[in-house]
Amino acid sequence: MIQLESLTKTYGRVRAVDGVTLTMARGEVFGLLGPNGAGKTTLIKMMTTLSRPDSGSCMVGGLDVRSHAAALKRLIGVMPQENNLDRELTARENLLIYGMLHHLDDLALRVEGALSTVGLLDRSDSVVSQFSGGMQRRLLLGRALMTQPAVVFLDEPSIGLDPQIRRQMWDLIRKARMDGRTVVITTHYIEEAEVLCDRVGVMARGTLIALDTPSALRTRVGEYVVEFVDKEGRLTQQMCRSRADAQDAAEKIEDRVTIRRSNLEDVFIKLTGERLEQ
């Protein structure tokens, strides 16, 4: 569904995306994982025609972002990281304008459907500036799904949401996948990537440093982690292939030791030496 080949974008002297090559399959939930500034949002902006690539190729649904942008825009729905709703308009007005921009038929029904999907039907005529952050994120998701796009791009969909609302958001994303949509999510929430994504691309400093299923990535770096605080007070981790290996390693350490299963953050630390900011 999506093919990126040596995709590069530079802002001044900063190479925000540096030669990224990857493919995303139809119906897949693909996660882009990385810290702030890793290039995830820039990559999304290029795939959604908002940012022009400097070099490389970017195809969505078989359409090139440069030469077939208009047709490509009919395939996609975008939930941006930064809230780009019109705060002075009502939820209904926001969706109405969006639907008209996307030439939707049965617009009133579609707007009602989108509001109902994200649980905002009872607030449809309230001005968006009166909404909580969580409600605004839900409205953004409803708007992205309203056109029934083949590919949905969700840039940090649950950023700033409390756990309960985050789980509601995840249910909506799962539903989109069940409806056959390809979903591309950027996140720096480990749990989100592990729970939702079929495959994860790990990004750091504009490059793709690993790409696989969450479980394969964990297996690659070690499925168990021995964690302890060293003599200087630093949290230290040792990756192990099996629980037996982890227990052997733990026995050699005198301090208080924890053994746990690895997660994508461990993968990220192992690959980059950096920690993801939560």
Partner 1 sequence: MKTLEWYPVYLREMLLFKRKLFKLGYLFSAMVVPVIYLVAFGLGLGRSVQTGGGTYLDFLIPGLVAMSSMNNSYSWVASALNLNRLYFKTFQIFVQAPISPFAIMIGEVLAGMTKGLFASVLIMLVGFAVSVHFRITAIFVTTLLLNCFLFACLGIVTGMLTRSHEDTSTYSNFFILPMAFFSGTFFPVDRVPLFIKWIIYIMPLTHTNILIRSARIDGQTAASLAVLLVYAAGFFAYGSHLIRRYSE
Q: Which is nearer to partner 1, 38 or 249 (CB)?
A: 38
Q: Which is nearer to partner 1, 100 or 244 (CB)?
A: 100
Q: What angle do CA 274, 277, 278 make, to 5 degrees?
A: 145
CB of 147 to partner 1, least distance (A): 9
CB of 125 to partner 1, least distance (A): 13
Q: Which is nearer to partner 1, 83 or 148 (CB)?
A: 83
- SS3 percent helix, strand, coil of the chain, rounded to 5, is 35, 30, 35
CA distance 88 to 173: 27
Sheet of 76-79, strands arranged across: 76-79, 151-155, 182-187, 29-33, 199-204, 207-212
What residue ranges bind partner 1 (CB under 8 A)? 45, 48-52, 70-71, 73-74, 76, 78, 80, 82-89, 93, 97-98, 100-103
Q: Which is nearer to partner 1, 101 or 109 (CB)?
A: 101
CB of 153 to partner 1, least distance (A): 10
Residues 114, 149 contacting (CB under 8 angstroms): no
**Residue ranges in 212-253 assigned as alpha helix (H):** 214-221, 243-251
Distance between alpha carbon 68 and the CA centroid of its chain, in Å? Answer: 25
Six-digit token string for 260: 């746990």
Q: Which is nearer to partner 1, 102 or 123 (CB)?
A: 102
CB of 97 to partner 1, least distance (A): 5
Beta bridge partners, 237, equal 227
Q: Which is nearer to partner 1, 147 or 238 (CB)?
A: 147
CB of 71 to partner 1, least distance (A): 8
CB of 84 to partner 1, least distance (A): 4
**Identity of residue 17:** V
CA distance 103 to 216: 42
